Amino acid sequence: MARGWWSGLIGVIIFSGSLPATRIAVAGFTPLFLTSARAVIAALLGAALLLALGQKRPAGKDVASLAVVAVGVVIGFPLLTALALQHITSARSIVFIGLLPLATALFGVLRGGERPKPAFWLFSLIGAATVAGFALGNGVPTSLTGDLLMVGAVILCGLGYAEGARLSRRLGGWQVISWALLLALPLMAALAIATLPSSWSPIGGPAWLGLAYVSVFSMLVGFVFWYRGLALGGIAAVGQLQLLQPFFGLALAGLLVGEQVSWTMIAATGLVVLCVAGAKRFA
């Protein structure tokens, strides 16, 4: 159980940089190209791993589940967040990630057969409310379009997390994301070619670094730790670590774009940590 939590925490820390990196990347790339390019790069890396380590192809019965993972975390979440970040700030988008534990837990119940205790849901709701209250209380500029896109992204991501965790128990964490990336590769490669930038010269170094981060870490390395954590520690239980992601992400956003980290962020983080501990106890 402890190994699952530590693995999940590493995954959360890696994912925390995704939205700030995406925000930087969309300054140079269109959302469609960014989504497809990151998937293509990660798929090629995943294919190299599968080939080098001699992994067998997944069974036919697993293809549908891998397709769900691909729709959720390879296509849906990256695309919707990239579109949302054209309307809202990275700080505001990060706060929506506080809803991911509820989405992941819900799909863990529906798809993974898990049955957390009632107290688990209480701590989850308190944690999510803390994250939402922190966002609304900071006066971050909003956009209904951006907010709705983030809600859609969270729903698809929760589904992809739960489905991937269920498969990871049988296939292994990095294998699941690698096969899901390969399944989506033909579509993503075609989309990347169709949306190639008309000129590469205006694209600055930060945008390239953002693309590199979301391709290698957000799209592949993070999932190695995250799916392993969910498989070992339980989808609902380890999924609560995502409540910490908004605060890790805001800290990174502060470092990258110079946003000030207030005392309210520290206080809210402390409350969320308590909620995570409570959820873990009753999962």
Could you tell me the pTM of the whole model?
0.82
Confidence of residue 228 (pLDDT cuts 50, 70, 90): confident
- Evaluate whether 104 touches 239 at the Cβ level (below 8 Å): yes
- What does the pLDDT look like over 63-110, one tens digit per residue? 999 999 999 999 999 999 999 988 877 777 777 777 777 777 778 777
- Evaluate whether 128 touches 243 at the Cβ level (below 8 Å): yes
Work out the mean pLDDT of the chain and round it to a whole number. 84
Predicted confidence (pLDDT) at residue 266 exceeds the cutoff of 80: no
Predicted confidence (pLDDT) at residue 251 exceeds the cutoff of 80: no
Q: What is the mean pLDDT of residues 255-280?
A: 66
| Exposure string over 31-63, b if 16+ CB within 10 A, otherwise e | bebbbbbbbbbbbebbeeebeeeeeeebeeebe
Predicted confidence (pLDDT) at residue 238 exceeds the cutoff of 90: no
| Sign of CA pseudo-dihedral 47, 156, 273, 233 | negative
Place of tokens 């994250």: 131
User: 3-class DSSP state for residue 9?
Assistant: helix
Question: What's the confidence (pLDDT) of residue 46?
Answer: 94
CB count within 10 Å of CB 67 equals: 15
Rg from Cα positions in the chain: 18
- What does the pLDDT look like over 5-27, one tens digit per residue? 888 899 989 988 888 888 889 88
Q: Between residues 141 and 125, which one has the greater pLDDT?
A: 125
- What does the pLDDT look like over 149-203, one tens digit per residue? 988 998 999 899 889 888 888 888 889 999 999 999 999 999 999 999 999 989 9
Q: What is the mean pLDDT of residues 235-245?
A: 77
Question: What's the confidence (pLDDT) of residue 110?
Answer: 72
Percentage above 70 pLDDT, the chain:
86
Question: What's the confidence (pLDDT) of residue 181?
Answer: 96
Q: What is the mean pLDDT of residues 111-128?
A: 76
Question: What's the confidence (pLDDT) of residue 218?
Answer: 92
Question: What's the confidence (pLDDT) of residue 168?
Answer: 84
Question: What's the confidence (pLDDT) of residue 174?
Answer: 86
Question: What's the confidence (pLDDT) of residue 80?
Answer: 95
Question: What's the confidence (pLDDT) of residue 3?
Answer: 75
Confidence of residue 261 (pLDDT cuts 50, 70, 90): low
Predicted confidence (pLDDT) at residue 37 exceeds the cutoff of 80: yes
CA-to-CA separations, 106 to 37, 102, 115, 156, 161, in angstroms, rounded? 30, 6, 10, 12, 11
Question: What's the confidence (pLDDT) of residue 34?
Answer: 95
Please report, for the chain, the start and end positions of each structural domain, with discontinuous segments joined by +: 2-195+206-282
